[in-house]
Structure 1
Amino acid sequence: MFAEIKSAMSKVGVQLTIKEVPDSVAVTPACKPDDAKCDWDMSFFGSQGSWYYPAFASGERLFQTDAPVNLGSYSNPEADKLIEKAQFSADAGALQEYNDFLAKDLPVLWMPNPVYQISAYKSGLQGVEPQDPMNLMYFQDWSWKS
Structure 2
Amino acid sequence: MIRTLDFWTSMAEQHGQAAALENDHTQVTYAELLVSVNALAVALQSKDPTPGSRVGLCAEQSLEYQVSMLAILAAGKIPVPLSPYGSTENLHQMLNDTQCSTLLVDEIGQKKINADDDFAILFSQLEGLVLTYRGQTPERHATGNTSSTTQEA
Q: Same fold (TM over 0.5)?
A: no
Question: TM class by shorter-chain length?
Answer: under 0.3
TM-score (norm 1): 0.25
Larger Rg: 1
Specify which structure has the higher proportion of helix. Answer: 2
Specify which structure has the higher proportion of strand. Answer: 2
Larger RCO (CA under 8 A, 6+ residues apart): 2
